[in-house]
Amino acid sequence: MLTTVITATGSILWRLHNDTLERQVALANLTTRAIEDHLTQSLTVVERTLTLAASDPIAAVRLPFYLQQAPYLRSISFADPGDRIYQSSNAENIGIKLDRRVFIPQSTTPVSVLRSGPLFTGRDFADHKTQTHPANSDLNFIPLLLDSPQKDGSWHTVVAALNTDYFLNFYNTHLTADQGQVDLLRYDGGLLIRNGSQPAGIVYNPMLRNSLLQSETGSYFETQPEGMQLLIAYRASRNYPFIIVVRQDRQQILANWQREAKLVVLVVGSILLLLISLSSVYYLRFEKLEIIRQRDAEQLRIAAAAFESQEGIFVTDADNTILRVNQAFCKITGYSEDEAIGQTPHLLSSGKHPPEFYQEMWQQLHRCNNWSGEIWNRRKNGDIYPEWLTITAVKNAQNHISHYVATLTDITQRKHDEDEIRNLAFYDPLTRLPNRRLLLEHLEKATRSAGRRGNEGALLFIDLDNFKTLNDTLGHDMGDLLLQEVAKRLNQCVREIDTVARLGGDEFVVLLPKLSKYRDEAASLAQRLGERIRLSLNIPYDLAGHNYHATPSIGITMFADGQHNSEELMKRADLALYSAKSAGRNTVHFFDPQMQKSLSERASLEAALRQAISDEQLVLMYQPQVDHAGNIYGAEVLLRWQHPTLGLMPPDQFIPLAEETGLILPIGNWVLLQSCKLLKKFSQQPGMPSFSLSVNVSAKQLRQPDFTQQVQDILDATDAPPHRLLLELTESGLLDDIESSSTKMLPLRHHGVRFALDDFGTGYSSLAYLKKLPIDQLKIDKSFVQGVMSDQNDAAIVRSVLALGNALNLNVLAEGVETEDQLQFLNLHGCRSYQGYLFGRPLPLQELLSMCMKQAAVQRSYNLIEAKLICSE
Amino acid sequence: MKRIVLSILAATSLLSLPAVQAGHMEKIRDANELKVCIWPDYYGISYRNPKTLQLSGIDIDMAIALGQELRVPVRFIDSSFATLINDIEQDKCDIAMFAIGITPQRSERLRFTRPHLVSDIYAITTRSNRRIQTWADIDKPGTVVAVAKGTLHETVMRDKLKQATLLVTDTPQGREQEVEAGRADVFMTDYPFSRRMLETTDWARLVSPPSTYHLTHYAYAMQKNDDAWYQRVSAFLNKVRADGRLMAAIKRNKLDLIAEN
């Protein structure tokens, strides 16, 4: 716009400039024409006046008359053929000699043409001074000469002094000095008249001359040497040898235009300035707004970019309705924008958090305006995933919550990564076994737990013998394969709760928590496990085709009461391992030498016991059981070990070991088999058919899933009468699983096998299982029986048990009856079966039979005979 | 060097005629007209517009007023300063009313009323005249000063000029022509005439004396020996002065600058 206005103004001014110039040129031409007209007309009058005067016979008198109305003439004179004035309106001119050569147009012969001389100084011919330059004179005239032919053929010469002032007046009235300059030139270029005060210079320059050659009239611009530009308009007189030149300063003629232009420029400039100022103000304002707008847009863009971040974002209103979600939200949750908007975040609820979790969350949100934490949410596809959720409450100007902004990050990967890190931190990458760190954690836990519950545990250090040689010979890859295989075998040897760890290299550790309440048992179990591991690791390995045999050394330390810290235990186990290595490798060693010793003994005992079974060093003894009449009606079968060197060993010295080692099962079966064989024999002997045998059954036996079948098989095999067999169970054996026990007992019971509850009163003596289990007999433990005469409590217990037995219609047998008083007490309180030294200690079969025969001899002689027959078999 | 050129002397000082016996009052009554001499080129005083031939000026107004006073028509008789005395003495008119400057020469032969205008002498030159710029340039050698014959200026300038050449023209127009043609540099005139020159020509330029040069009182002239007539005219003039008609006429003709009470 600015350029347009400037251009338009410039264009208008330029056009005005050109118009002004054109007009001024036209005006100058017009002025030139007017002046030339005036000159030519004046000269025409002069020519006619002179012509008239020339032929006037009384011219001398009439000259003043001729001059009267001719202000352009100062004088009229007549010259003789010698060009000397002989008559004049001004008497002083008479006698003046004229020089015809100075007049133009020049002619040697008279010609009837008005001719002009150069500018003469003075008022008239009379005071013309040739020595003074006309330009410097204050009074000049132009001499005119006319040869006028007369009727008689002669010529009269008339001369006139042309009044320059007259023309000058005329010029001045047309053009003031400051408007321009009028020059009257003789046709040869001589300056005759010039208005204004400028001294006459050379005005007839080549330019004018050239222009005149082209045309008698015209105009042009000319630059003066001093730089001034002039408009020159010229016009030659139509008839006379004169030229009118009007010269105007270009600046001057453009002065008006310049004033107008200045005014226009001023006005337009002011308007433009105002416009520019206003525009500037608006522009600045606009710029400012634009900057603000850009900044806002930038912030919006940033906000939008931030909103579309990797984190899922959703915005809800105060009522918890979702208003906006971002792409990441859709990606994480699986819900599209359309599905999510309008819903509440409950959409994402996994159901994994209890209501209290959410209540707490809202409480904190309202309290602190934000909440962040780990939360399980559900994706659209049902996947439950962990996310890190941050909720910020947005408040409005009234400090009321207007929106909630929630950002959520799916931390499934993070959790996975954490697990990975945890794996790296806690597990050995090669074997995937827990590393030292995790082991120590577990160990800490186990020792604490052991201390609290009084559970014995064990720590096993396992080292492969000559592992370095393997690495050196077959390479590390083989070593690694071996380690992986070892790890696998170790895991196969242990329980669920145990920990197999690798410390590095070929060093493995097995942590066995909660082995047993009893130290010996625990140690034994540890030892056995150690042995099992040793044997397992001794099995040849197939290492990528290489058959390899490895042996381990195993060191064990026990822990129970938490008195030793983990480090100490590790040290001990390591020492035990060192001890095992020292002992020749491929062996298991305990840290505690005493324990090592006792375990060794137990090991040898076990071996001996195994030997005993195969060598039939086990022998059965029978303790008689009598009724209230003192008649022997049966016996309890008792096991003894006839050790080759140690002699006859009582059951408490080897039964626990047998239980522990599982040897109890073959032993138990053997005892049952022998007893059933005996029962079969008894059944076939007269006088003994009702003789019954009580056989102890260990809990381990009863726990055998096929216990029922085993018993049935033996009964079937021996064809023994089931109703003569009484299986004695201990409370502890039964109580492990009453249902299972009952299930196993009932079929046998149906078969006629009876069951006795041994050591009744020492355990829980729950009446419940008395009701549930098919029990036929209760055996009062001898500890109570022996105290009936001295201990009120024992007596009370015994009385109660007897009462209970009677009430439940159970046979009650009192064990350990050693005195008559005891017998009397028991008898008095309704006990009808007894067992004890009072009636007979455990006896070999022969002695039992003798006793039976003796009893029979007292009663019936044939009974005795029959008994003899049996015994002799 | 003083040269006085008397180019033309159309009339010389003539012998005075025998005294007129009959009073002008009676003559006027008998002839039933008042003959008033005027110079019809006297702009603002007694000027005949050549385009309409209508007369105008202060003294025309006054002459008409006088005629009305005397209840006779007025007949204007063309006169000039050159013929004034003769015209009065020969009774060509009863009174000359064209602001006649009271000069000693005129006062010898004529009787003047109380003057109503007063004017100094002014010079008129051409605009293009480079010699005459100020009053002081006038009385210089080579300068030609034109005056009209018979005018008070002729006598005054003849007396005053020391170096310039005095050119006496027969007619007032002559002096203008001399100046315009450049044969003379200036001509001398009074205030009313100079005004006319400036207003009607484009070549005239006024040159004023820097201070009072020569004041001349203007009045009406009549024969000397007719007291009754003189009284009557004086009474009339007193009357128009008193009633303001005189002043109004002066003002109407823009000559109040030179009015004299």
Q: By C-alpha distance, which of A769, A776, A700 is closest to A733?
A: A700
Specify the residue for token string 């919550």.
A401
User: Does ipTM come in above 0.90?
Assistant: no
A715, A720, A749 from A752: Cα distances, Å: 11, 11, 5
d(CA A79, CA B143): 27
d(CA A63, CA B63): 40
**B18 compared with A858, residue with greater pLDDT:** A858
Min Cα–Cα distance to chain A from B58, Å: 30
| Yes or no: domain B24-118+218-258 corresponds to CATH 3.40.190.10 | yes
d(CA B139, CA B137): 6
Whether residues B180 and A71 touch (CB distance < 8 A) is answered with: yes
A382, A465, A590 from A460: Cα distances, Å: 46, 15, 9
The alpha carbons of chain A give a radius of gyration, in whole angstroms, of 77
* Average pLDDT value over all residues in chain A: 84
d(CA A196, CA A177): 5
SS3 content of chain B, % helix, strand, coil (to 5): 35, 25, 40
Chain B hits for A138, CB-CB cut-off 8 Å, are 130-131
Residues A223-249: b if buried by 16+ CB within 10 A, e if exposed: eeeeeeebbbbbbbbeebbbbbbbbbb
The pair of structure tokens assigned to B162 is 């020391």
H helices present in B110-226, as ranges? 152-160, 172-181, 191-200
pLDDT band at A744 (very low <50, low <70, confident <90, very high): confident
Q: How far is CA A105 from the centre of its chain?
A: 113
Which residue in A169, A172, A181, A197 has the most chain B C-beta atoms within 10 A of its own C-beta, making it the best mutation to test that interface? A169
Residues A531-563: pLDDT tens digits? Answer: 889 889 888 888 888 888 888 889 888 887 566
Q: Which amino acid is at A159?
A: V
Instruction: Tell me the average pLDDT across A750-755.
Output: 91
User: What sign does the dihedral A100-A102-A108-A111 (CA atoms) show?
Assistant: negative
Backbone angles phi, psi at B165, to 5 degrees: -95, 130
Asked if the model's pLDDT at residue A391 lies above 60, the reply is yes
Q: In which element (H, E) is residue A303 found?
A: helix A255-307
Min Cα–Cα distance to chain B from A110, Å: 28
Min Cα–Cα distance to chain A from B202, Å: 7
Chain A hits for B177, CB-CB cut-off 8 Å, are 67-69, 71
Residues A143-162: b if buried by 16+ CB within 10 A, e if exposed: bbbbbbeeeeeebbbbbbbb
d(CA A6, CA A276): 12
Compare CB distances from B130 to A69, A138, A173 and report the shortest one's residue: A138
What's residue B68's pLDDT?
93
pLDDT band at A438 (very low <50, low <70, confident <90, very high): confident
Min Cα–Cα distance to chain B from A89, Å: 11
Q: In which element (H, E) is residue A623 found?
A: strand A618-627
pLDDT band at A143 (very low <50, low <70, confident <90, very high): very high
Instruction: Tell me the average pLDDT across A766-792.
Output: 84
Whether residues A124 and B129 touch (CB distance < 8 A) is answered with: no
- Interface list for chain A against chain B, based on CB atoms closer than 8 Å: 67-75, 90, 123-124, 127, 138-139, 141, 163-166, 168-169, 172-173, 195
Among chain B residues, CA nearest to A124:
B183
Among chain B residues, CA nearest to A167:
B128
Min Cα–Cα distance to chain B from A223, Å: 29
Residues A445-496: pLDDT tens digits? Answer: 887 766 566 678 888 899 888 888 888 887 888 888 888 889 999 888 888 8
List strand residue ranges (DSSP E) for A105-200, in order: 115-116, 120-121, 140-149, 155-163, 181-186, 191-194
CB A651 within 8 A of CB A623: no
- Interface list for chain B against chain A, based on CB atoms closer than 8 Å: 126-131, 142, 144, 174, 177, 180-183, 202-203
Min Cα–Cα distance to chain B from A2, Å: 52
Instruction: Tell me the average pLDDT across A790-814.
Output: 87
Chain A hits for B174, CB-CB cut-off 8 Å, are 68
Instruction: Tell me the average pLDDT across A624-630.
Output: 86
A171, A385, A386, A623 from A27: Cα distances, Å: 14, 103, 102, 173
Which residue in B127, B171, B183 has the most chain A C-beta atoms within 10 A of its own C-beta, making it the best mutation to test that interface? B183
Specify the residue for token string 């030659």.
A236
A199 DSSP assignment: P
Among chain B residues, CA nearest to A69:
B177
Chain A hits for B183, CB-CB cut-off 8 Å, are 74-75, 90, 123-124
Asked if the model's pLDDT at residue A865 lies above 70, the reply is no
Among chain B residues, CA nearest to A72:
B181
User: What sign does the dihedral A159-A160-A161-A162 (CA atoms) show?
Assistant: negative
Whether residues A124 and B126 touch (CB distance < 8 A) is answered with: no
The SS3 of residue A113 is: coil
Low-confidence ranges of chain B (pLDDT < 70): 1-22
What's residue A561's pLDDT?
59
Compare CB distances from B128 to A69, A90, A168 and report the shortest one's residue: A168
Select the highest-mean-pLDDT range: A144-153, A194-203, A277-286, B67-76. B67-76
- Segments making up each domain of chain B, as ranges: 24-118+218-258, 121-207
Min Cα–Cα distance to chain A from B183, Å: 6
Asked if the model's pLDDT at residue A722 lies above 60, the reply is yes
pLDDT band at A135 (very low <50, low <70, confident <90, very high): low
**A605 compared with B32, residue with greater pLDDT:** B32
The SS3 of residue A292 is: helix
What's residue A478's pLDDT?
85
Whether residues A71 and B181 touch (CB distance < 8 A) is answered with: yes
Chain B hits for A194, CB-CB cut-off 8 Å, are none
Chain B hits for A172, CB-CB cut-off 8 Å, are 127-128
Chain B hits for A75, CB-CB cut-off 8 Å, are 183
d(CA A327, CA A104): 111
Whether residues A163 and B181 touch (CB distance < 8 A) is answered with: yes
Whether residues A127 and B183 touch (CB distance < 8 A) is answered with: no
Q: Return contacts of A98-104, CB within 8 angstroms, 24+ apart.
A: A98/A125, A98/A143, A98/A145, A98/A159, A100/A145, A102/A143, A103/A143, A103/A145, A104/A186, A104/A187, A104/A188, A104/A241
What's residue A108's pLDDT?
80
Compare CB distances from A74 to B181, B202, B203 and report the shortest one's residue: B181
For the ranges A312-326, A587-601, A711-725, B12-26, the lowest mean pLDDT is seen at B12-26
Chain A hits for B181, CB-CB cut-off 8 Å, are 67, 70-74, 163, 166
Among chain B residues, CA nearest to A91:
B7
Min Cα–Cα distance to chain B from A232, Å: 23
Chain B hits for A166, CB-CB cut-off 8 Å, are 126, 128, 180-182, 203
CATH topology of domain B121-207: D-Maltodextrin-Binding Protein; domain 2 (3.40.190)
Whether B24-118+218-258 and B121-207 share one fold: the answer is: yes
What's residue B117's pLDDT?
93
Among chain A residues, CA nearest to B181:
A71
Chain A hits for B144, CB-CB cut-off 8 Å, are 123
Task: Say which residues have a Cβ less than 8 Å from residue A30's Cβ, sequence separation at least 6.
Answer: none
What's residue B185's pLDDT?
93
Residues A158-201: pLDDT tens digits? Answer: 999 999 888 888 888 888 777 788 888 888 888 888 876 554 44
For the ranges A119-133, A336-350, A789-803, B100-114, the lowest mean pLDDT is seen at A119-133
A484, A500, A731 from A526: Cα distances, Å: 23, 14, 27
Which residue in A165, A168, A184, A193 has the most chain B C-beta atoms within 10 A of its own C-beta, making it the best mutation to test that interface? A165
Min Cα–Cα distance to chain B from A160, Å: 12
Residues A400-431: pLDDT tens digits? Answer: 888 899 888 888 887 888 788 877 788 888 88
Min Cα–Cα distance to chain B from A176, Å: 12
What's residue B18's pLDDT?
42
Between strands A692-696 and A647-649, the pairing is unpaired
Whether residues B126 and A165 touch (CB distance < 8 A) is answered with: yes
Whether residues B127 and A68 touch (CB distance < 8 A) is answered with: no
The pair of structure tokens assigned to A510 is 């097995």
Residues A809-826: pLDDT tens digits? Answer: 888 999 989 998 888 888
A119, A145, A709, A728 from B178: Cα distances, Å: 21, 22, 186, 191
A84 DSSP assignment: B
Whether residues A164 and B177 touch (CB distance < 8 A) is answered with: no
Instruction: Tell me the average pLDDT across A376-390.
Output: 88
Compare CB distances from B183 to A74, A172, A173 and report the shortest one's residue: A74
Domains (range + CATH), chain A? 6-255 (3.30.450.20), 310-416 (3.30.450.20), 442-591 (3.30.70.270), 633-775+843-872 (3.20.20.450)
Q: Concatenated DSSP letters for A782-810?
A: HHHHHHTTT-HHHHHHHHHHHHHHHHHT-
Whether residues B203 and A164 touch (CB distance < 8 A) is answered with: no
pLDDT band at A367 (very low <50, low <70, confident <90, very high): confident
Q: How many CA atoms lie within 13 A of A245 on its CB side?
A: 29
Chain B hits for A200, CB-CB cut-off 8 Å, are none
pLDDT band at A85 (very low <50, low <70, confident <90, very high): very high
